[in-house]
Structures are given as structure tokens and as C-alpha cells.
Amino acid sequence: EPEVTQTPSHQVTQMGQEVILRCVPISNHLYFYWYRQILGQKVEFLVSFYNNEISEKSEIFDDQFSVERPDGSNFTLKIRSTKLEDSAMYFCASSDNSDANSPLHFGNGTRLTVT
């Protein structure tokens, strides 16, 4: 069964550094998302992306964050200058083009640790 893949599974970085989290969505999906889960808290929506542009973003998704689809397969989340509070599990998800409310399929996540 097709799946969403994320790399790396664990990323450790120093405060102030830039990180890029990578995702390969399911190949025929056209809607892409990033969510995050801070340890002990709920999974939170960050951003949705469709047709090469952001369709919605949350208050968390400030100027430090950006997303890109650099080619036909990858979908990336960049954090320009990481802060301690960015430490979390980051999940990528995708859904197909039948309906924007089609079920989201999630990757296994990237655990980001900012020291």
C-alpha cells in the first residue's frame, strides 16, 4: 500500500540553526500538510498546500516557517532559525484530489530536538 515517507526520522539541531524536514507524499495525492505534536500535547495543524501554494496556515506557522514542493515528489518544511520550543514530532500528510476532505494519510514523523 502506498505510504507517506519522511526523512530523517530524528533530527537534532542547535538553537538558531536552519532545518529542513523532508516528505514524499503518496504519488497521486495533490493536497499536502504539515502537523506537529509537542511532547504530551495534541497534534496541531501547521499548514496545508495545494496547487503550489499555501491554502491555509495556523497561527503557529509564522515567518520562521516555510514550505516548498521543489520537484514532483518532495514536500519540505523549513524552519529558518530554530527555537527550543520548536522541539516536537513533525508529521507530513497528504490526501488525494477527489475531495479536500478526503482522509489524510500521515507519515511516521520526524522527531526534531532543538538543543
Judged by CB under 8 A, the stretch of 13-21, 65-73, 79-87, 89-97 that binds another protein is 89-97
Segment near another protein (CB under 8 A); pick from 19-27, 67-75, 79-87, 103-111? 103-111
Q: Taking CB under 8 A as the rule, does residue 48 contact another protein?
A: yes
Select from 35, 61, 79, 114 the one that contacts another protein (CB under 8 A): 35
CA separation for the pair 99, 23 (Å, rounded): 21
Residues whose CB falls within 8 Å of the CB of residue 6, separated by 6 or more in sequence, listed in order? 21, 22, 23, 24, 90, 91, 92, 107, 108, 109, 110
Q: Report the interface residues with another protein, using CB under 8 A.
A: 4, 6, 31, 33, 35, 41-45, 48, 55-56, 91, 93, 95, 99-101, 103-109
